[in-house]
Amino acid sequence: MAGLVLGLWLAPALAIVLILISRRPRPAAFLNLAAAITTLGLSLALLARGPAHPVVFGDHFLLATPLGLWVVLCVTIVYTLASIYAVGYMRLLTEEATRLPWFYALFAGFALTMVVAPFMNNPGIYWIVIDLTTIVSAFLVGFERAAESAEAAWKYIIIVSAGLSLALLGIILFYWAGTFSFGPVYDMTWHRLRLMAPHAPHPLLLLAFLLTLIGFGTKVGLAPMHTWLPDAHSEGPAPVSALLSGALLNTAMLGVVRFLTVIDAGGLGAAGHDALCVLGALSLLVAALFIVRQTGAKRLMAYSSIEHMGVIALGFGFGGVLGIAGAMYQMLNHALNKSLMFFGAGNMMRAYQSKDMRVMRRILQFYPVTGTIWLLGAIAITGAPPFGPFQGEMAILRAGMEGPNTWAVALMALLLIVIFIGFLAHFRRMVAGPAPAQGHEPRLALGVWMTAPLWLALIPLTILGLWWPPLLWRFFAHAAQVIR
């Protein structure tokens, strides 16, 4: 276990060093790609050899859990797909060619922070690593140096930092609650927090959880703390948008779930689950309202990310084996689907030289293959069969009907219908709208680097919709029993 985790961290770290030594765009792209493929292989090995129960190692600094390993797998899948896509996409930014090695070094660094965070056994150190993800990814959001990108990067830093400050205060209050059981000085770990929770004052415990929920919920992009997300996801390069949406949000959600288990142990689980359900439902409502009115392709995908984080939050909020299994399944489906959608958006933006969907017309006429895959991805992301998100959302709805928050089930079902209609209405116009004006037809030839990742995302997304592997169901059921 320790050797695999060390290799998982060393691959992107070594890529960073070699990229900075080389400082040439082409070697940098392939060094980053090699690191991504290595991390994916190691994450699969970790999942295959993963412990049946949470395991502490590395002198009690590291923790491996089924949910944590699942998040790492989602991160490395998106990292690999985005690294393949970046080889072709970033070459189009000819004015940035001299800075591409820095892009790939930051890209690998961003991935490194996200594969480190899930293994942190100390909540305070986990907070530090999550904060590092903000610092590294802010440079990636503003990489293109446009005024909009710079504004999005600053907005991202300010809002997320404010949220993480509240999360830090919550962690401090959790530590204070532990002093009633362990004395003024003790080693704070996730396990110790759960041990102290039954003996801590309930008002203090609930306040600490709400602060961490708001703080890490800001990083997840849950409404109403979501305001950084549409700008950051829409202004960064498409490979960065995929990592932000498909990988980073899951990494932050892990923290929310782990703190939820703490107040579960303290007898306040009902309040915690209710709070998470409220934020999840509110996120769906905000996403539905803004998806209907969007004109920017990547902003549409960004609000879809808020929607899916709301769905995942509802899954964990509903709880039970079915709710947790649905949420974990949705994590993987969202990672694959949103990567596909951002890659497709990046292709169309470069082809039509615009972010505005009103300019993107007759996409199937000009790009029959890529346009069709992107359209299928749009159908999938709205939760329609026969794709993976449908399976995950149905499991979460069923879990909600078995619990006390049936109001959230009704609201979720209604808003998913609104989102389905609004999202696909945009694609109907892009597919069947009037032809572009004479002389404004897209002429960009999309190479294999920019199309292969769409296939690599769509194929497993379809398989996961047609067949929920029994092995995965057993893994999710076990993870729900030992969730940490």
Model confidence pLDDT, tens digit, residues 311-322: 999 999 998 899
Angle in degrees, 0-180, between the axes of helices 249-265 and 202-220, rounded to the nearest 10 = 170
Indicate if the pLDDT at residue 287 is higher than 80.
yes
On average, the pLDDT of the chain sits at 92
Question: Domains in the chain: how many in total?
Answer: 1
Read off φ and ψ for residue 56, nearest 5 degrees: -100, 135
pLDDT score of 379 more than 70: yes
Beta bridge partners of 343: none
Alpha-carbon span 438 to 433, nearest angstrom: 15
- pLDDT tier for residue 106 given thresholds of 50, 70 and 90: very high
Query: Once rounded to an integer, what is the mean pLDDT over residues 3-19?
Result: 96
Q: Reduced to 3 states, what is the DSSP secondary structure of residue 55?
A: strand
> CA separation (Å) from 37 to 80, 241, 286, 384?
6, 19, 36, 30
Query: What pLDDT was estimated at residue 96?
Result: 66
**What is the arithmetic mean of pLDDT over 110-131?**
96
Which pLDDT score is estimated for 439?
66
pLDDT in tens, 214-251: 999 999 999 999 999 999 988 989 999 999 999 999 99
Q: Which helix (H) or strand (E) holds 354?
A: none
Instruction: Report whether pLDDT(472) > 80.
Output: yes
Per residue in 40-77, pLDDT (tens digit) is 999 999 998 877 688 888 888 999 999 999 999 999 99
- Find out whether 454 and 343 touch, Cβ atoms under 8 Å: yes
How far is Cα 141 from Cα 154, in angstroms, rounded to an integer?
Answer: 9
Report pLDDT for 146: 84
In this prediction, residue 207 carries a pLDDT of: 96
pLDDT at residue 484 is higher than 60: no
DSSP class of residue 247 equals I
Size of the chain in residues: 484
Is residue 106 within 8 Å of 140, Cβ to Cβ?
yes
Task: With beta carbons less than 8 A apart as the criterion, state whether 364 and 372 touch.
Answer: yes
**Could you tell me what percent of the chain has a pLDDT over 70?**
98
Omega of the bond leading into 470 within 30 degrees of 0 (cis): no
Residue pair 320/399 in contact by the 8 Å Cβ criterion:
yes
Determine what percent of the chain is predicted with pLDDT higher than 90. Answer: 77
Using a cut of 0.75, tell me whether the model's pTM lies above it.
yes
Domain boundaries, position 151: 2-481
Q: Hey, what's the torsion of the CAs at 408, 322, 123, 155, to 10 degrees?
A: -40
Are the C-beta atoms of residues 8 and 117 closer than 8 Å to each other? no
DSSP state of 444: P
Of the pLDDT bands very low, low, confident and very high (cuts 50, 70, 90), residue 412 is very high
The DSSP H or E segment spanning 404 is none
Supply 172's token pair: 């401090």
The confidence score (pLDDT) of residue 478 equals 86
The half-sphere exposure of 14 on its side-chain side, counting CA atoms within 13 A, is 14
The DSSP code for 99 is G
CA–CA separation, 136 and 285 (whole Å):
30
Dihedrals phi, psi of 150, to nearest 5 degrees:
-65, -40
Summarised one tens digit per residue, pLDDT across range 250-268 is: 999 999 999 999 999 998 9
**pLDDT given for residue 53 in this prediction:** 80
* Residue 309 token pair: 């984080």
